[in-house]
Amino acid sequence: MTSPIIGRVTPERRTSGARAPEQAGRVISAGAVPEPGTARIAVDLLGGDHAPAVVVDGALRACQADPSLQLILVGPLEAADALRRALPPADRARVSSITAPAGPVDDGSAGRGAGRVDDGSAGRGAGPVDHESAGPDRGHLPPAGARRGDGPPIRPDRAMSRAAGPDQALSRVESGVRTAILAVAQGHADAVVSAGNTGATVTSAALGLGRWPGVRRPALAAVLPTVAGRLVLLDVGSSVDPDEQTLAMHARLGAAYAAVVHGLVSPRVGLLTIGTERGKGDRLRRAAPAVLAALELPAGGRYTGLVEGNDVVTGTAADVVVTDGFTGNVLLKGLETAYALIRPPGHDDVPPRAAILLGVGGTVVVCHGAATADDIAAGIALAADLHRRAAVPVIADLIQFPAGHPSPAAHEDPRGGS
């Protein structure tokens, strides 16, 4: 495993000004409903098993469903052109594109941009670009420092380049998610959605956006339907071999997410294992309960003890279930496949098949590599919703200031949690 990456960005502190929670396990009553607002989502076109076609299809569906959505498509320009052509002329300005340069890693020392936002307008000093008649060579990504369009450049990040190594060449796929992350870091986008390699996404986010203080390993959190409601499961693939301190931080991240996004007061946190009897499980599962029991959880959260796989389906024992990324990923994929065949439990309001990366200084949503167009659209909608709620800054506040912090009620959306 690589050594922990030191974050460089401290999340913005925001408070909701709402009253502190009082009743455990109850949904917080709605406060001020957030305005829909514009959400600028950077979408990694080359992430996923069936990219870019499925990603373009999903991005188109998301754009059609949300008139306040703006998309920054990172990858082949002809794929972005295809999406633009499918939109009514009045909506095409909502879609821009960034080329993701492949080849040797650029540390920015030359002072040139790693990519360029292309809003479909003219090149520098040239006439309008005819996207439909452009040849196939436009699909080949330009070398580092090349520019297209007349939008603001995406600057190379030296920390990301140093971590990659001076002699490493980036593939188109790796460069895509890096460039999408940098679009957020440099203020061109509000969130990232990728169905690409999880490791590359997590590493790029930690380097490009920075980690929150105290977070050694960010966590991927997925939401599952249960008989009792929605349940947060983490980690589902970011950290496959955590220690008990990492699980403790993930418990805090999960409790904060459940409070902010699901509107739960005093969310219940359980540790996934093979039995509820004391001493069951491997070394990690035997050592973690004492750490979790002594933990101060955000939003009045409380550790309720050990839970088993059946508890993940019923949702009666915990609102948040913590486990290692290997076990969580296996469980997540198994349950999602089963639910696709026999219908999910409880209700038809199925959460998106996507995970949010918690612990970094920005909104990053990760879809499955085998994501369908509907999954991509749902992931983009999730990213937009989290941005509009200011969910990530509020969660960061709860992690840094767990005691006496105002309730996230003002950010709860009565339309339902994500």
Instruction: Specify the CATH number for the domain of residue 313.
Output: 3.40.50
**Residues 184 and 261 occupy one common structural domain:** no
**Residues 262 and 383 occupy one common structural domain:** no
The yes-or-no verdict on residue 277 having pLDDT over 90 is no
Which pLDDT score is estimated for 403? Answer: 54
Rounded Cα distance between 323 and 271, Å, is: 6
Rounded Cα distance between 258 and 238, Å, is: 19
The yes-or-no verdict on residue 128 having pLDDT over 50 is no
Q: With respect to residue 378, please indicate whether it lies within any of the assigned structural domains.
A: yes
pTM: 0.77
**Residues 259 and 332 occupy one common structural domain:** yes
Q: Which tens digits make up the pLDDT trace of 351-398?
A: 889 999 999 999 999 999 889 999 999 999 999 999 999 999 999 999
Average predicted confidence (pLDDT) for the chain = 76
Q: With respect to residue 2, please indicate whether it lies within any of the assigned structural domains.
A: no
**Residues 279 and 199 occupy one common structural domain:** no
Token digits of residue 405: 């912090």
Instruction: Quote the domain boundaries for residue 164.
Output: 37-215+359-388
Rounded Cα distance between 68 and 233, Å, is: 30
Q: With respect to residue 333, please indicate whether it lies within any of the assigned structural domains.
A: yes
Can you say whether residue 346 is alpha, beta or left, with left for phi > 0 and alpha for psi between -120 and 50 degrees? left
Q: Which tens digits make up the pLDDT trace of 25-34?
A: 333 222 333 3
**Residues 174 and 75 occupy one common structural domain:** yes
Share of the chain above pLDDT 90, in %: 51
Rounded Cα distance between 191 and 394, Å, is: 15
Number of structural domains (the chain) is: 2
Q: Where are the alpha helices (DSSP H) in 315-365?
A: 325-342
Residue 378 DSSP class: H
Query: Beta strand pairing status for 191-194 and 363-367?
Result: parallel
| Cβ atoms of residues 328 and 242 within 8 Å | no
Residue 400 pLDDT class (50, 70, 90 cuts): confident
DSSP calls for 56-124: HHHHHHHHHH-TTEEEEEES-HHHHHHHHHHS-GGGGGGEEEE----EE---STT---SEEEE-SS--T
**Residues 65 and 166 occupy one common structural domain:** yes
Which pLDDT score is estimated for 126? Answer: 31
Instruction: Specify the CATH number for the domain of residue 78.
Output: 3.40.50.10950
**Residues 200 and 243 occupy one common structural domain:** no
**Residues 264 and 223 occupy one common structural domain:** yes
**Residues 226 and 332 occupy one common structural domain:** yes
Which pLDDT score is estimated for 340? Answer: 85
**Residues 204 and 331 occupy one common structural domain:** no
